Every structure is written in structure tokens, then in C-alpha cells.
Structure 1
Amino acid sequence: MSPENRPSPEAHSGSETHSSPAPHRPVIDLNADLGEGFGRWRLTEDEQLLPVVTSANIACGFHAGDAATMRRVCALAAEHGVRIGAQVSYRDLAGFGRRAMDVPADELAAEVAYQIGALEVFARAAGAAVAYVKPHGALYNRVVHDEEQAGAVVDGVLLAGGLPVLGLPGSRFLDLAAKAELSVVAEAFADRAYTDEGTLVPRTREGAVVTDPSAVVERSLGLARDSAVTSLDGRRITVRARSLCLHGDTPGAVELARRVRRHLEEHGIEVAAFA
């Protein structure tokens, strides 16, 4: 369990009377996948999203991104005070990192470290640093259950210096990262459907992506305030997360992100990067 999710111990002192503590104000980080372009091709609206989010998952060249894009987005993130994260993936530019691949564990660990190192150069040049690591696409889904691949990603993060990691609550990835004494941060998705078990519905299944903006906004509030969401099959499930992902490659992503942040703040949710 991550430090963010551990309950605070309560003080007990016999019959002494204590005043009630101030109500806890929920805090949520907003992260988005950014820098997902290549050469002249741009997918994400980085300049418009960076003033809204608090953490930026920047593509490191394997599923998207190139040197110039990484440099530009790191500079923009530093300018807006947004935390920089390395979004690592399988080496799959043609498939945008969403195709299942089998990569030997030692090779995957090296490639994860390689991607983090590449981004770190541009983060430092912008006066910042890579603050965390998040897998992308097929790799993200694979490390939910696959012990070997999850361990390889953890090994790659350790090889690159041992940064905090962002991932799905209950995943093997976060479990192994915690055992390796990495800081772990659980995240949730307002625009992705969940199974009854709390995992993401595969994109190949109908209804896997929530496209109604109003539904996304309300699901964001439910996740941030109540740690709960309704699964695709109609079951109310618990999803405890410190960060909420806003996909930057969906139509209308900028306006949707603004609506989500505004709605959260109007309902007393503090929007801030995780420590």
C-alpha cells in the first residue's frame, strides 16, 4: 500500500477529551500523456493541456516522441511548474505502443532505463528533473498481471536511479515496486471503463472508452472524492488513487480537462501534484 493510501493513526489517551479534527480535504493529481508526436506529426495539444494538469507523462521515443519533442515539452512543463514523468513503453512506434509484445526481461529493463535517461537530459536542460515513471499502453496493461514483465520494468526504474512509479491500484507492478522500496502512486481513469475486479476494460471491447464528456466529469469527481466508480457491468467498485489520468489524445481533450479541473475544485477537491 502506498503512503498516500495508508490511514493516519489516531491518538488515544484514556478519558481525555479532544476537539474534532478539521475535515480532510481530498487532494488529487491530474496527469496527462503528452509529447505524443513524431517529427512534423503532433497528437497531443501540449501547450493547452500543460496549464491544466499537474503532472505530464512525456513520451520517450518508443511509442511516440522524439528528441525535439521531448525537449520542447520538458521546457513547457518546467515553465508551468508541472511535474515531469517518463512514459515508458514497448518499442512500437508503428503501433503507438498498444500492441502486445514479448520482450525478454533483461532487454525490457534496459530499454526502460534508456527511455528514462533520454528524457532526463531534456528535463535537466529545462531546469527540472524526471520525477516519476509511468508505463504506457500495452506495457501498462501487461504489468498489471505479468510478474516477469512487471519485475523488468521495476528493474529498469531501479537501474535509472529508483524514481517513484505511477500505475494501477492492485497491480503486480505496484506491488513489486513497493517491495523494491520505490515510492508508488496509484492512479485512476475517468474516461476508461472498469471491470468488476478494478482493472481496465480492454480497448477491443465495446464501451471500453467513456466518450460522454459529462460522464467523464462526474466520474472524475466520484473517483477523487469517494474513491469509487461504476464498472462497465454496473457494479459500484472502490478505486483508491492519488492521481487521475486525462488522456491527451482524445477529441476535445483540452476543454474536457478544463471542465474536469473546474468541477473538482468547485466541489472542494484540491488539485496538486503528488509528493
Structure 2
Amino acid sequence: MSHTAHIPSHRKPRQSASKTALRAGVAGGVLSTIAVAGAAGPAQAEPVTQTIEMPTITAGLSTSVAASAQATQAVALDLETQAHEDAAAETASKAAKKAKAEAVRKAEAKKKAEAAAEAKAEAAERASRSTERTTLSASSGSSDSSSSSSAASSSSSSSSSNATGSAASVIAFAQSQVGDAYVSGGTGPNSWDCSGLVQAAFGSVGIDLPRVSQSQSTAGTQVSLDNLQPGDILYWGGAGSAYHVGIYVGGGQFVGAQNSSTGVVQQSLDYDPPSGAVRVL
């Protein structure tokens, strides 16, 4: 017997072939299971919930909101003020237009009233002249007519040719208007009523006479019809209530704005004998 026969061996004993095969099969099965699991896809991950904190933005927000509100209020106030101003301007414009229309209406009404009054005064003057003539003719008769004719004849020695100074200028003015139209209330330059012509004639030499016949018949010294001088004012009717006036130009004639039919004429005193005369010059 060998001396080494009793020494134990350090090598592991060999496993039997059956055990080796069994272990190989187990290992292969485990690996196959892992491979199948891997091929099936990744494992389902659990959902992740994360809370994100947003930064605080309220800092200064109240100031901005207040400023915006104040600006909006200011704009609204401006718009309201503008609206009031526009309304006031429109109201004022309407009032001005209404006042203007009313003024025009009143002016037209006044003009119509004045025209009506002039027409009425002219009609009254004509009627008064007619009445006065009838009265004078009835009261005086033929003797008054003879007296008037004598007065005209005695005055015929005086004529416009020997008038001098202011009287000559007054007569020249009056004679230059012969042929102009007669218009009640007319004061020239191309249409006249009786007192308007007399006033303008004396105004040409700086003498300011009253406007109407009644006042002109007492504007100077009363003179007799048989003592007439060129430039004397003749009147028809009573002194202070005369309804017609003219200017004595000498030679037994006068110039006067008679009526709308004849206009301004130069006629003999016999044509329309006056009631009296007044001397201004």
C-alpha cells in the first residue's frame, strides 16, 4: 500500500453527471424567464405627482389698479364735461337763431306798420286837404277868390330872379327837384313828400326845420299873403295844424311836392291858393 493512500485530497469531489445536468437545466430556466420578462417590455412606471409653486405677483398690483381706475375716472370726467359744453353750445346756438328770427320778424312787422301808417297819413292828408279846400271855398266865396288873385298879382313883381343869399339857394334847391316823384314820408334824393322837400331845401343852407307840415307852419314869423318874399314857406290849413307846405319862389309861383299824381311841381298860386305863410330867412 502506498504511503499516500490515507492522505485526504483537497479537491472537491466531482459531482455526478446527473447533478450537473440538473443544475444546468435550472440555470437555463431562470435565464429564460428573465429573457422572456425583458422581451415583454419595461415595467409600468407609477405616475409622478409634483406641485410647482408659482411666484407671487400681487406685489404692486393694488397700486396699478388704483392708477388705472383714476385714469379711467379722469377720462370719463373729461367726456362728461365735453358733453355738457357741447350741449350748452348747441342750446346757445339755437337761442341765437331764434332771437335773430324774432328780431327779423319784428323788424318786418315794424316796417309794414310804418308803411301802413304812412299810407294812412297820406290818405288822411288828401282827405283833409280836400275838406279844407271845400270849407274855404264855401266860407269865402268869390270875394276870397278875388282877394287871392289880387295877392298873387301883387306878388308877381317879386320873382326868383331877384332872390339873393340864402333865399336864392333855397329856391334853387327846390326848383332842381321839380319832376321828382311824390312819396309819403319821402326825404329825397329822388322822391319827396311836401314837408320833406321844404326841410331839405332849408337844410341846404344850414337851417334845421321840423320834419312835419304842422310844425313848419309855425317855424318862423307869420306873414301876410300880400307881402310874400321869395323863400317864404307857404302852408295850407291852419298855422300849427297845416296839412301841406311849399316854398314861394317869386313871380306868384311856388314849388311843392303836391301828390303822387303830379309829383314835385312849380305852379301858380292860383292853382292852389295857400292859407298862410311863414318867413324863416
Structure 1 and Structure 2 fold alike (TM over 0.5)? no
Bigger helix share: 2
Bigger strand share: 1
Task: Give the TM bin, normalised by the shorter chain.
Answer: under 0.3
Q: Structure with the greater relative contact order (CA < 8 A, sep ≥ 6): 1 or 2?
A: 1
Larger-Rg structure? 2
What's the TM-score, normalizing by structure 1? 0.20
What's the TM-score, normalizing by structure 2? 0.20
